[in-house]
Amino acid sequence: MFQMYFTEQPMSAYPVAEGNRLGYTSTIFPNQYFDPQAAARLYQERLTEYLYADDLGFDGIMLNEHHNAPFCMQAKINIFASVLAGATKKTKLVLLGNPLPVSDNPVRLAEEIGMIDLISQGRLVSGFVRGAGQEQLATNTNPAFNRERFEEAHDLIIKTWTQPGPFRWEGDHYQLRLVNPWVRTLQQPHPRIWIPGVISTETIVWSAEHRYPYIALNPTMDDANRIWSIYDKAAERVGYKSGPEQRGYLIRCHVQDTDEKAIENARQFMWMQGEFIGLGAFEWQNPSGYSSPSGRRQRLAGPKRAYPGYEEQLAGFLIIAGSPKTVIQKLRKLLEGTRASILALWGNDGMINHKDSMNCIKLLAQEVCPAVQQIGDELGLKSPFELNTPVSLAATPKEQLRPVPVM
């Protein structure tokens, strides 16, 4: 098992009543409500929590990035990762991830990530994302080219890391006369790449085709297994047999000394009712051209479901909260049901205070994670690091590929 700590780094110090009055807390929610004093305090609290997670032995710290909304204070994932690269000692820094389509210069991004890998002495996992729909609006990026820019930026970054320069790049979205950055990565041929997502079929297939682990962001167990089915079939088509080491699962998981305290605190996971993207108009979250035709048809054809309430999410294992004993029992059921060997534990959200967040991290690290590791061993859930799997399909030795019959 590989277990990492995560929080969206919520900017909870904002006028909730104003957001409710307007009906949105993202994209065009006025930044006049940003409180710099509270933000400075919250950044220090998050940094203290991350360092505590490192001291207590978490396998990894997961970071992400969002824009134009108080639900996430990470405006640039590489900045906080750079701080942690120098301040932490053991934990891996898992960037899930850099939104490639909004980058105007992927080579500059490759340099930044290379610096983080070097400063951390090879503790970096570099994840890439398409970015949510509102990210396209926040960065003035055409959402219709989102996937094209994602794939081309990825290819350019990989070539920058693995092929000596200088060389020229002439693509559909990026044209660079000179690619020859001095900074490259410590890990060779490049850091591991993990891809997070919700349930985009195209992204799942693309991840499998590159042999990148796919980190499912808090789906139901049924949806997770649909994701694995899509991934497994795509992996087989390109010539290898996938397994738990390619499966990651993000779960909102809060632990306190008693069930009652944990369940009370975990209500804060509902603070925006918008999960990852806050309150906002549908067209901000899915601007025209952002989703694939198949994705749009799936949404239009599917039933309209109300956002599940707190008790429903607790019952459906979308949120896990309780004492260490309770949480361990529930995580066992989750792992038995999903067979994911990469587990991201989302421990803090909303207005959960710093003291309780520190206690949650302590209980996770000292009581929950050791028990989960034993459960993973029982279930045969080995992480990519334990199995030393290739970082990508291109780096897979031919003898490790299983021949697939021609259909």
Question: Is the per-residue pLDDT at 294 higher than 70?
Answer: no
> How is residue 381 written in tokens?
């859930």
- For residue 351, pLDDT beyond 60: yes
User: Which pLDDT score is estimated for 399?
Assistant: 52
> With contact defined as beta carbons under 8 Å apart, do 238 and 208 qualify?
yes
Q: How far apart are CA 370 and CA 317, in angstroms?
A: 21
pLDDT at site 33 = 92
Predicted local confidence at residue 333, as pLDDT: 98
Instruction: Determine the longest span between alpha carbons in the chain, in angstroms.
Output: 62
* Per-residue pLDDT tens over the stretch 248-291: 999 999 999 999 999 999 999 998 765 455 678 778 878 878 87
Ordered by where they begin, the domains of the chain are 2-400 (3.20.20.30)
55's CB contacts (< 8 A; 6+ apart) are none
Average pLDDT over residues 323-337: 98
The predicted-structure confidence for 191-221, as pLDDT tens digits, reads as follows 999 999 987 899 999 999 999 999 999 999 9
Contact indicator for 291, 146 with CB cutoff of 8 Å:
no
Claim: this prediction has a pTM higher than 0.75: yes
List the single range of 26-30, 165-169, 193-197, 296-300 with lowest mean pLDDT: 296-300
- Non-local (6+) Cβ contacts of 296 within 8 A are none
Q: Which of 40, 163, 52, 177 is nearest to 110 (CA)?
A: 163
Spatial distance between the Cα atoms of 319 and 269, rounded to a whole number of angstroms:
8
- 30/126 Cα distance (integer angstroms): 32
Tokens of 185: 């990565």
Task: Determine the pLDDT at residue 304.
Answer: 53
- Greater model confidence, 105 or 307: 105
Average pLDDT, the chain: 91
As a whole number, mean pLDDT of residues 220-230 equals 96
Residue 47 pLDDT greater than 50, yes or no:
yes
Report the pLDDT value the prediction gives residue 407, as an integer from 0 to 100: 34
Express each pLDDT in 89-128 by its tens digit.
999 999 999 999 999 999 999 999 999 999 999 999 999 9
Mean per-residue pLDDT, 60-88: 93
pLDDT at 406: 35
Question: Which pLDDT score, from 0 to 100, does residue 296 have?
Answer: 56
